[in-house]
Amino acid sequence: MDAFISYFPLWDKLTESEKDRVRASLTFRQIRKGTLLLDGSDNCTGLLLIRSGQLRVFVLSEEGREITVYRLFDRDMCLFSASCMLKNVDFHMTVQAEKDTELWVIPTHVYRQIMDQSAPVANYTNELMASRFSDVMWLLNQIMWKSMDKRLAAFLWEESAIEGTLRLKLTHETIAGHLGSHREVITRMLRYFQQEGMVKLSRGCVELTDPKKLAELAQE
């Protein structure tokens, strides 16, 4: 419980009775890489607070194509997994563990009760939702106005920063899923990047050989 208190940003804003409700209902889960926590249809899983690991939040089209909306890391909170408590919000997001992840779950009904009674919690929730909508709008802007080569360059640069390495263990299919594209398109782009000396391709791996050039392309 001490660890949760240090991670949950609103703990000091809660009353003693609200703290008791959280303590009584809180669960801790250890999630294996690849596990689906939210499949796009059930948006009442509960509020997720990540202790360690990495989650991917994405949308899935009727044709089965994926596109990553954002990622969640240590100390991040996933609000869309409890979006049923928010009026007039109807998003069908899928949440999957990209790495082995440890997290806490606050049941939706408990968090909703506290949010209805606590102005600081309601304000924080609204700020968090606004931030996530900003992520969605940023993604929409990227899709509408940026070419695929620039989006791919930005993705590789960001992925390298997340993993702390220039050697990325990613298949072309995985990259296509993140960017909402087709594997053949990504393969063609990566081969072009390789010809330009920006990456080196091998089976299941993309190595950034000229990250500066990739960054310049992403920022054009």
Same domain, 106 and 91: yes
- Do 46 and 82 fall into the same domain? yes
So what's the pLDDT on residue 29?
96
CATH number at residue 180: 1.10.10.10
- What pLDDT is recorded for position 91? 64
Q: How confident is the model at residue 44 (pLDDT cuts 50, 70, 90)?
A: confident
What pLDDT is stored for residue 86 in this prediction?
Answer: 65
pLDDT-derived band at 41, boundaries 50, 70, 90: low
Q: Which domain holds residue 169?
A: 146-219
**Per-residue pLDDT tens digits for 48-73:** 999 999 999 998 877 778 999 999 99
How confident is the model at residue 8, as a pLDDT? Answer: 95
pLDDT at 84: 67
Is the domain of 17 the same as that of 65? yes
Q: What is the mean pLDDT of the chain?
A: 91
Instruction: Indicate whether 43 pLDDT > 80.
Output: no
In the prediction, which pLDDT does 65 show? 85
- Do 121 and 179 belong together in one domain? no
Q: Report the percent of the chain where pLDDT is more than 90.
A: 71
Residue finishing a domain among 98, 118, 143: 143
Residue 188 has pLDDT above 90, yes or no: yes
pLDDT value of position 197: 96
pLDDT for the residue 64: 78
Q: 95 with 153, same domain?
A: no
* Three state DSSP letters for the chain: CHHHHHHCCCHHHCCHHHHHHHHHHCEEEEECCCCEEEECCCCCCCEEEEEECCEEEEEECCCCCEEEEEEECCCCEECHHHHHHCCCCCCCCEEEECCCEEEEEECHHHHHHHHHHCHHHHHHHHHHHHHHHHHHHHHHHHHHHCCHHHHHHHHHHHHHHHHCCCEECCCHHHHHHHHCCCHHHHHHHHHHHHHCCCEEEECCEEEECCHHHHHHHHHC
* pLDDT computed for residue 60 by the predictor: 84
pTM over 0.75: yes
| pLDDT tens for each residue of 78-126 | 887 766 666 656 667 889 999 999 999 999 899 999 999 999 999 999 8
Say whether both 27 and 96 belong to one domain. yes
Residue 209 is predicted with a pLDDT of 97
Q: How many domains does the chain have?
A: 2
Domain end residue (candidates: 92, 111, 143): 143
Q: What is the pLDDT of residues 197-216, one digit of tens each?
A: 999 999 999 999 999 999 99
> What number is the average pLDDT over the span 19-46?
88
Question: Which span out of 10-19, 42-51, 75-84 was modeled with the highest average pLDDT?
Answer: 10-19
